Structure 1
Amino acid sequence: MSWSADTRLLLCIAIGQTIGWGTLFSVFPLFGAPMEAELGWSRAEINAGLTLALLVSGLAAVPVGQHVDRHGGRRMLAWGAWLGAALLALWSATESLLLYWALWAGMGLAQAAALWGPAMAVVVTAARDPNRTITGITFITGFTGTVFVPLGAALIAGLGWRGALLALAALQVIPGLLALWLLPAAPPRAATATQGGFSLRAAVRRPAFLGLAACFAAHAFIGIGLGAHAIPLLRERGLPEASVLLVVALHGPFQVAARLVLFSLGGRVTMRGVGRLATLLTPFGMLVLALAPPDLGWLVLYALCWAIADGLMTIVRAAGVAEILGREGYGTITGALSVATVLPRTAAPVLIALIWEGAGGYGPVPWLLAGLALLGAAAFLAAARAR
């Protein structure tokens, strides 16, 4: 069978990103309880590792993006994947909390090198149709949690948490091999960040960049905040436990369905149009969450709006940046946009917890999220109009 270059690129990146996000991110919550039981560390001490990784990953995004612009992303993705595999193996042997935190600081570097930013830079520079290729990738990666959460739980049950980490480390070797085997050695537009007078300082002052940064920061706060608090928030509404889990579980299928529709539309839509839809659905979904009675039908509507918006924004953060800001210095620019989301991503769970404590419940939280979503929508609309 002869594959087109875009199909080969799509499958390589999609498989690599699914494994990478699955092993380096999605399974993390599964290890808290067994590590607490064996090592006696608190849940806060364990979760501090992931927070540290998010901070390091955000700070490393710009230099990683600059390297990808100059040299291409093939080797960066490979070495990042293998660094992640090595750190998973070391995590399996750790007995020291300080060493555990040091490993997760290193994991932040691995995430910056192996996950979304460099992978999308490769697609934008190498694909004939980047928008369609990115949409196809996100369709496949939408199943990451569906695959890796039960897989991780089964590995922990069968091998213990240390053995499970060694198995995940072995899996994480695969993305590096795929990158070296299937990705182009010299992307056709590599090194654009150093040609044509590109200046990061000038790029980040553009109104369109500032609008996208504000939009992505708001979206990051909402996404991470809901990821940490959606289940207790819905429980507080008095829903049966089965309904709570159903509303949360619908997020993945609704995301994937939205991406499938977008993939089928192909070139008939623009990323500006997709972004407008996503950013307007987000505040609508948050308002439904704020106003809805404890009724499953209304909360499924919230889940539908938020999942479609979240699923589409994943694509906008990759293909939309290229459409609005251009491809020159793409890796560097997307790295700078990632930096803008570091503080919202790390602050959201703690800030929402503080609001819950201060208000005696989650009542104000959906209104806060709706307000941020409206600001994000306005920022995107301004960015989309900029030329």
Structure 2
Amino acid sequence: MDGAAADAWSRHARRVIPLLGVAQILSWGSSYYLLAVLAQPIAADTGWPLPWVVGGGSIGLLTSGLVAPFVGRMIDGFGGRPTMAAGSLLIGAGLATVGLAPTLPVYLVGWAALGIGMGAGLYDAAFSTLGRIFGASARRAITAVTLFGGFASTVCWPLSALAVERLGWRGACLAYAALHVAVMAPALLALLPREARKLRAAAIVQPGAWTSRERGAFCMLAVILMLNGAVQTALSVHLLTILQAQGLSLAAAVAIGALIGPAQVGARIVEMMAGGRLHPTATLLAAGAFVALGVTLLALGAGSAALAVLLYAAGNGVWSIARGTAPLALFGADGYPVVMGRLAAPNLVSQAAAPFAAGLLLAGAGAGATLWALAAVALANVGLAFGLARFRL
């Protein structure tokens, strides 16, 4: 770590990392993980079709993917402080719209607004902010923030269930909205460091500035992130259904699913202790291999389901770190937020489409064929990640 990076670390790390960590828990828990608890109560209360209720989450992911390049440019130009504070305000506005929605179209509009906030408030924006603050030394900070983020479902699923029980689903949305608007946005605005404004984007991310080798690495990394994002999102939505189709009871499926959070956090702790010895592209390869092994074991049958989910979750836990650190290592800190925004867009769009596509395959061909299709995608991704690990710029 050079002198400037060490100075930035000593001045900001103790404040920035816990702040962004708590922001990730709240932002993920009240957006990406929200419908896991609220979808059934919303459908039961309103009579809206459950697929459309769940589809709100896909609209949010799609919208966040569309705005991701713009968010990256904003963080690169103005820093993460105003951008992430605005993201928290937008998440709050989206949640308020969802909670007050009198009709299904208004509910879906609320998710579109929520998605804009997700684009400016979830991992890609947080990683870009850390890159802007800490430069090339941001890897430690990215790993630390993902440790917090790994507890989002653990904290917010019980909190959401309690809020639904006490306040109803609308009250739960409004309570989360109030936390974002009254607490999180002011905290981000007050406590994140003010970054010097850039008059124009870094030269490395200007059109035509990259070499053909750099463009090839970028395209390869974009495809890798898209494929893993599709596998991850498809399984996050359909895992319990798949496990039950393999013969497990709902209680057993839930118990196995509960292994995901601890496995992700445990893998991130291991990465924090040992990952600095590996180039981030090698970490990306190792994470992809664990994901592929886990999905393949899951496709082999329910007898190996617990081990399969542990391996899959460990891989995804490390993947969350590597998808932030690999672009930093490949393309450098200068213009890193812009690179992250461009990589996030196709990744988030694929995540929006994957649950729907997997649902069609699940309904038409069954759990076995769906798992083998996901395993094939994950294994192909290992091959691409191996190519990228050898593709050092």
Q: TM-score normalized by structure 2? A: 0.91
Answer whether contact 1:200 1:332 (CA < 8 A) is retained.
no
Aligned to 2:339: 333
Of the three residues 370, 382, 387, the one matched with 1:382 is 387
Answer whether contact 1:192 1:329 (CA < 8 A) is retained.
no
Of the three residues 129, 133, 138, the one matched with 1:130 is 138
Q: Judging changes above 3 Å, is the alpha-carbon distance between structure 1 residues 200 and 26 closer, same or farther for their aligned structure 2 residues?
A: farther
Answering whether residue 199 of structure 2 is matched by residue 199 of structure 1, we say: no
For the aligned residue pairs, the C-alpha RMSD in angstroms reads 2.1
Q: Unpaired segments of 5 or more residues in structure 1?
A: none
Answering whether residue 191 of structure 2 is matched by residue 182 of structure 1, we say: yes
Aligned to 2:108: 101
Answering whether residue 372 of structure 2 is matched by residue 364 of structure 1, we say: no
1:378 Cα deviation after fit: 1.8
Aligned to 1:284: 293
For the residues of structure 1 that align with 2:250 and 2:300, how far apart are their CA atoms?
A: 20
1:37 Cα deviation after fit: 2.6
For the residues of structure 1 that align with 2:203 and 2:242, how far apart are their CA atoms?
A: 50
Answer whether contact 2:17 2:144 (CA < 8 A) is retained.
yes
Q: Unpaired segments of 5 or more residues in structure 2?
A: 1-9
1:111 Cα deviation after fit: 1.0
For the residues of structure 2 that align with 1:106 and 1:242, how far apart are their CA atoms?
A: 35
Answering whether residue 247 of structure 2 is matched by residue 238 of structure 1, we say: yes
- Identical positions, percent: 31
Answer whether contact 2:93 2:113 (CA < 8 A) is retained.
no
Residue identity in the other structure for 2:350: P
Residue identity in the other structure for 1:321: P
For the residues of structure 1 that align with 2:210 and 2:270, how far apart are their CA atoms?
A: 33
1:307 Cα deviation after fit: 0.8
Answering whether residue 144 of structure 2 is matched by residue 139 of structure 1, we say: no
Q: Judging changes above 3 Å, is the alpha-carbon distance between structure 1 residues 362 and 121 closer, same or farther for their aligned structure 2 residues?
A: same
Residue identity in the other structure for 2:280: M
SS where residue 24 of structure 1 aligns? Answer: coil
For the residues of structure 2 that align with 1:165 and 1:355, how far apart are their CA atoms?
A: 32
Residue identity in the other structure for 2:205: F
Aligned to 2:61: 54
For the residues of structure 2 that align with 1:346 and 1:204, how far apart are their CA atoms?
A: 31
For the residues of structure 2 that align with 1:86 and 1:357, how far apart are their CA atoms?
A: 35
Residue identity in the other structure for 1:322: L
Answering whether residue 173 of structure 2 is matched by residue 165 of structure 1, we say: yes
Q: Judging changes above 3 Å, is the alpha-carbon distance between structure 1 residues 38 and 367 closer, same or farther for their aligned structure 2 residues?
A: closer
Aligned to 2:5: none
Answer whether contact 1:23 1:172 (CA < 8 A) is retained.
no
Q: Judging changes above 3 Å, is the alpha-carbon distance between structure 1 residues 180 and 155 closer, same or farther for their aligned structure 2 residues?
A: same
For the residues of structure 1 that align with 2:184 and 2:389, how far apart are their CA atoms?
A: 34
Answering whether residue 67 of structure 2 is matched by residue 67 of structure 1, we say: no
Answer whether contact 1:70 1:193 (CA < 8 A) is retained.
yes
Matches within 5 A, 1:195-274: 195-196=202-203, 198-200=205-207, 203=210, 206-265=215-274, 267-274=276-283
For the residues of structure 1 that align with 2:289 and 2:89, how far apart are their CA atoms?
A: 39
Q: Judging changes above 3 Å, is the alpha-carbon distance between structure 1 residues 241 and 53 closer, same or farther for their aligned structure 2 residues?
A: closer
Aligned residues: 380
Residue identity in the other structure for 2:104: L
Aligned to 2:158: 150
Deviations 1:279-309 (A, max 9, x none): 12222112211223x32xx222211210111
Answer whether contact 2:89 2:185 (CA < 8 A) is retained.
yes
Structure 1: 4+ residue segments shifted above 6 A: none
For the residues of structure 2 that align with 1:355 and 1:272, how far apart are their CA atoms?
A: 32
1:169 Cα deviation after fit: 1.2
Answer whether contact 1:204 1:210 (CA < 8 A) is retained.
no
Q: Judging changes above 3 Å, is the alpha-carbon distance between structure 1 residues 337 and 201 closer, same or farther for their aligned structure 2 residues?
A: farther
SS where residue 157 of structure 1 aligns? Answer: helix
Q: Judging changes above 3 Å, is the alpha-carbon distance between structure 1 residues 164 and 251 closer, same or farther for their aligned structure 2 residues?
A: same
For the residues of structure 2 that align with 1:19 and 1:214, how far apart are their CA atoms?
A: 29
For the residues of structure 2 that align with 1:251 and 1:219, how far apart are their CA atoms?
A: 16
1:82 Cα deviation after fit: 1.2
Name which of structure 1's ranges 207-216 and 31-40 shifts more when overlaid on structure 2. Answer: 31-40
For the residues of structure 1 that align with 2:37 and 2:219, how far apart are their CA atoms?
A: 37
Deviations 1:208-238 (A, max 9, x none): 1111111111101110110111111111111
1:34 Cα deviation after fit: 2.4
Answer whether contact 1:203 1:333 (CA < 8 A) is retained.
no
Residue identity in the other structure for 1:303: V
Of the three residues 272, 296, 310, the one matched with 1:304 is 310
Name which of structure 1's ranges 247-256 and 112-121 shifts more when overlaid on structure 2. Answer: 112-121
Q: Judging changes above 3 Å, is the alpha-carbon distance between structure 1 residues 209 and 19 closer, same or farther for their aligned structure 2 residues?
A: same
1:94 Cα deviation after fit: 1.6
Aligned to 2:3: none
SS where residue 127 of structure 1 aligns? Answer: helix
Q: TM-score normalized by structure 1? A: 0.92
Q: Judging changes above 3 Å, is the alpha-carbon distance between structure 1 residues 169 and 9 closer, same or farther for their aligned structure 2 residues?
A: same
Residue identity in the other structure for 1:37: A
Answer whether contact 1:193 1:332 (CA < 8 A) is retained.
no
Q: Judging changes above 3 Å, is the alpha-carbon distance between structure 1 residues 195 and 25 closer, same or farther for their aligned structure 2 residues?
A: closer
SS where residue 109 of structure 1 aligns? Answer: helix
Answer whether contact 1:248 1:303 (CA < 8 A) is retained.
yes
